[in-house]
Amino acid sequence: MFKLPFSFGSSKEPYFLILTLGADHIECFAVHVNTESFKPVCEIIGFGSELVGLDIIRSGVIVDFDSVVLAFKNAVATATSELDVKFRDVVFGLNSSIAFDLMTNVRLTRSGVKPLTSEEIADVYSSTSEAANAAALEEISKITGDSNIDLECITTSTVYIEVDGNKVDSLEHATGKVIELAQFCSYAPTYVTHMLQDLASALKLNVSAITSEMYALTSSIKPMLGEYFDGVIIDVGSDSTNVGVVFGGGVVNSKSISVGGSDFTKQISKLTGLSYFGAEKKKTDYSRVQAEEQNNTLTQTLMPDLEEDDTKIHQAIGSVIETWLSGVELLFSEFDGIKTFGSKIYLTGGGIMLPEILDVLTKEPWTKAIPFKSPPEFVKLNLMDLHFVSDKTGMLDSPMFIIPASLSYTYLESNSYL
């Protein structure tokens, strides 16, 4: 079943929170909207993070609600403790393991060259929505085997409008015989959106938006890459890897595999005998040392401890990365109707801190079986690539913070700052 998009209260206050749920931790970002310059800038002015036990959150779905509420209360307190501000609004993002992202194209041929009537315009958008709804239900039925899951549209955006082959900003007063509309829509199961609303209520917050992470990131980097850029986004998250295909500046589709950074951590834990969180620290230290070696800035601080487990860490990463790459390659084959892929591949997510990720992507011949327009070029995104975001905390230099920070775009959009 499909339900119409629900609406949230829109206060247009210059302060809001972003809350994220990972496989083993949660995060809170306190944000201020600065409108004093020529463009609105979301300044991240506070940050808090809390570890949660494994299986408290699975693939973005809360399993132990009370534990998650307590963790978020602590994270919110940490992020806002030095700020003399009352935060009321919150933004949540959903990755491609939960959200179903797709672009729908509708083409309408009409007689005459009179301006489109309001009825014709409504018909174009109605036809587009109906086509998107049907495609979303078909997609979730394919994945889950259940065609009766209630879905809600969490994000919708017009990618482009063409009249007689010419791009226009609006259909109002447009004249022409052939009308084409491309619209992005993202859907989520109703139980997920209700879960997040319940979480916000428990934290005494108002849900300003629940949005597709892939949409928020694409919209945030579009000013840097061009309004109609083509490419692929690979987000190596904590418990999933999400791949989004972008054409003409819009997300055409996105898919996910349930292999992410936590799987590398679990394997390191297994081979070294460390606890999960001990293995996570070891993985982080290992990634840092490798990066410093590549940049010729290596200090001796972490070396003795790491050398003892270096072989085991290599072995653990190697055993998981083969499965990970096979899954990524399989995802590309599942993008139905896409004949070629843009050659720029943009990497993000905490998992890309592992140097082996970039190595295996660039050196393995896996791309030869995929119809890229030209040999792919891999680009690591950083926070500076987000057009509307500024980090005032000095704490967010990891790629794991890029997608959460990009959710700021949704607040700007939904509260008419743009």
Q: Is 241 contained in some domain?
A: no
The predicted structure's pLDDT at residue 410 = 95
Do residues 208 and 93 both lie within one domain?
yes
Do residues 340 and 274 both lie within one domain?
yes
Do residues 74 and 168 both lie within one domain?
no
Do residues 316 and 269 both lie within one domain?
yes
Give whole-number Cα distances, 37 to 34, 41, 264, 388, 396, in Å: 7, 8, 43, 11, 23
Higher pLDDT, 120 or 215: 215
Domain residues for the domain of 348 are: 261-380
Name the least confident of 124-133, 286-295, 308-317: 286-295
Pairing of strands 61-62, 57-58: antiparallel
CATH classification of the domain holding 151? 3.30.1490
Q: Is 230 contained in some domain?
A: no
Higher pLDDT, 5 or 94: 94
**356 by DSSP, 3-state: which?**
helix
The predicted structure's pLDDT at residue 295 = 65
Query: Over 70: is that where the pLDDT of 380 sits?
Result: yes
Do residues 288 and 409 both lie within one domain?
no
The predicted structure's pLDDT at residue 304 = 47
Q: How confident is the model over 263-300, as pLDDT tens digits?
A: 999 999 999 999 999 999 999 988 888 877 776 554 55
Which domain-ending residue is among 137, 170, 189?
189
Q: Give me the chain's average pLDDT, please.
A: 90
Q: Is 273 contained in some domain?
A: yes
Q: Is 240 contained in some domain?
A: no
Query: Over 70: is that where the pLDDT of 6 sits?
Result: no
Q: How confident is the model over 44-73, as pLDDT tens digits?
A: 999 999 999 888 998 889 999 999 999 999
Q: Is 309 contained in some domain?
A: yes
Average pLDDT over residues 211-220: 97
Q: What is the pTM of this model?
A: 0.92
Do residues 295 and 149 both lie within one domain?
no
Q: Is 198 contained in some domain?
A: yes
Q: Is 33 contained in some domain?
A: yes
Do residues 124 and 89 both lie within one domain?
no
Q: How confident is the model at residue 5 (pLDDT cuts 50, 70, 90)?
A: very low
Average pLDDT over residues 140-154: 84
Q: Is 217 contained in some domain?
A: yes
Do residues 72 and 123 both lie within one domain?
no
Burial class of residue 304, CB neighbours in 10 A (0-12, 13-18, 19+)? exposed
Do residues 303 and 197 both lie within one domain?
no
Q: How confident is the model over 92-124, as pLDDT tens digits?
A: 999 999 999 999 998 988 886 788 889 989 988
The predicted structure's pLDDT at residue 1 = 40
> Into how many domains does the chain fold?
3
CATH classification of the domain holding 14? 3.30.420.40
Residue written as token pair 């085991």: 312
DSSP annotation string for 164-211: TTEEES-STT-B-SEEEEEEEEEEEEHHHHHHHHHHHHHTT-EEEEEE
Do residues 265 and 355 both lie within one domain?
yes
